Chains A and B, each alone.
Chain A
Amino acid sequence: MRLSTKHLLGIRELSPQDIQLILDTASQFKEVLQRPIKKVPSLRDVTIVNLFYENSTRTRISFELAEKRLSADTINFSASGSSVSKGETLLDTVNNILSMKVDMVVMRHSATGAPHFLARHIPAAIVNAGDGINEHPTQALLDAFSIRERLGTLEGKKVAIIGDIMHSRVALSNIYLLKKMGAEVTVAGPPTLIPKHMAEAFNVRVEYDLNKALQWCDVANVLRIQLERQNQVLFSSLREYNLAYGVKKSLLDNLDKEILVMHPGPINRGVELDSDVADSKQSIILQQVENGVAVRMAVLYLLAGREG
């Protein structure tokens, strides 16, 4: 069994079999992470560079831990403090790093398509750790893993993705993945933050009423309001957004079932998610982070094996 692709650029390029293989492999890695020695020697001959052109806490630490738990050698690169500020191009930077015998590149970039561009020009395997407003495939995989862990399967489950759909790569990757694995998806949020023609383009439901979306779903994946990507006023104030679209305890208590609450982090407490919801037992936010390491181990392991 192997993946059908040499790189992980997005969920869009994966087949349902690929996704299944990654999630199944991740379950085995999750068991490894419960052991007294949480480390396996699989990738001890592999060197991986973490190329971060954009800020990150969770994803970067998670990838680095995953690499270390697989015994790979790692190098960290962040654009700030590097020669990027002296004007070096992306391709030059990467080729310079690769000439020091690096096998894989984990990359985050604010430009959509940056990892796809690199994949066309360099021989190393590339893992997209988030590119602009396009995709964040490992986040979608760990979200799916967390849902599967709690609900047993993805097939037929109803997932509401709530908030800033327009600027969210997490939303796009999640939609691709959930649809491929047979789940139902609703995107919910203010009309200004949901692109036009979503329903036709992705075969998802669009809902502008938060309460209706919550009533419909088994899982609510709440997204962060991405102020850094908004260059125009799309809603009047954060306070007003919270009033209309913030997920609150009172809303959840009024539902006739207990839904799972997820968030890819970092949380804007009191904006898209209230603190009492984020810290409640319905929230699996910290389990998502825990599962992230196992899922990334699976991706790196399967791609490294794909090379030979």
Chain B
Amino acid sequence: MKTILSGDQLAITIKRLSHQILENSVDLSNTCIIGIQPRGIWLSNRIIKEIQLLLPQTKLLYGILDITFYRDDVRKELHVANQTDIPFSIENRKVILVDDVLYTGRTIRAALDALLDFGRPEKVELCVLIDRRFSRQLPIQPDYSGKAIDSIISQRVKVGWQENSGKDEVVLL
């Protein structure tokens, strides 16, 4: 087991990601953040909190998206569906998708399909905490990346959060 990000490093990384998102989003009123269920929402919750600290006056649109029914492996393996809650229209808005780990790219492919069922966004960007580069099975790259790592298939990246496992850290198993 190898620690990729300790609790302190994780906090700094989330701060940086939040700043980068703000830097890149001129018109915040037309931008929304959508966390991917189930594990992406821990990161998106933190980013929303961080942005609200930086700009207390701004109200950022925030939704969560479940991609279970859009997976390409429904017949191979069943996953439990989670809640989807996008209480606003994404039509002509800039959407920033948030997930914890980008690996094969299949989850993001499913998320893009799911998202387009809600309307036609002006632009979609991707924000991830850990980018397992060189392991993509689809041509998908992040716009904001916390940390890029090199790993092999047999390894697993585990992201722990205070809210669910009691400790903020990212480890390679």
Which residues does A use to contact B, with CB under 8 Å?
A: 1-2, 21, 24-25, 28-29, 31-32, 35-37, 39-43, 45-46, 70, 301-302, 304-308
Contact = CB atoms under 8 A, between A and B. Distances in A.
A43 B78 CA distance: 12
A40 B85 CA distance: 16
B83 A40 contact: no
Given A40-B69, A41-B69, A304-B75, A28 B117 contact: no
Contacts of B71: 42
Nearest to B82: A28
Contact of B68 (A21, A28, A70, A308): A28
Contact of A305 (B70, B74, B83, B119): B74
Nearest to B69: A40
Select the residue from A2, A42, A301, A302 with max chain B CB neighbours within 10 A.
Answer: A42
Interface in B109-162: 113-114, 117-119
Contacts of A308: 75-77
B117 A35 contact: yes
A41 B119 CA distance: 16
Given A70-B69, A307-B75, 7 more contacts: A28-B81, A29-B69, A42-B69, A42-B71, A43-B74, A46-B75, A302-B78
Contacts of B82: 28
Interface in B42-90: 66, 68-71, 74-85
A25 B75 contact: no
12 contacts: A1-B80, A21-B80, A28-B68, A28-B69, A28-B81, A36-B117, A40-B70, A42-B69, A42-B71, A301-B69, A304-B74, A305-B77
A145 to B, nearest CB: 14
A36 B90 CA distance: 11
A28 B74 contact: no
Nearest to B113: A41
Nearest to A32: B69
Nearest to B66: A28
Given A35-B118, A37-B117, A305 B78 contact: yes
Contact of B78 (A32, A70, A306): A306
A224 B75 CA distance: 38
Contacts of B74: 42-43, 301, 304-305
Nearest to A31: B84
Nearest to A302: B78
A70 B81 CA distance: 14
Contacts of A42: 69-71, 74
Contacts of A301: 69, 74
A29 B66 CA distance: 11
A228 to B, nearest CB: 38
B87 to A, nearest CB: 11
A40 B117 contact: yes
A1 B66 contact: no
A37 B69 CA distance: 13
A32 B71 CA distance: 15
B46 to A, nearest CB: 25
Contacts of B79: 1
B88 to A, nearest CB: 12
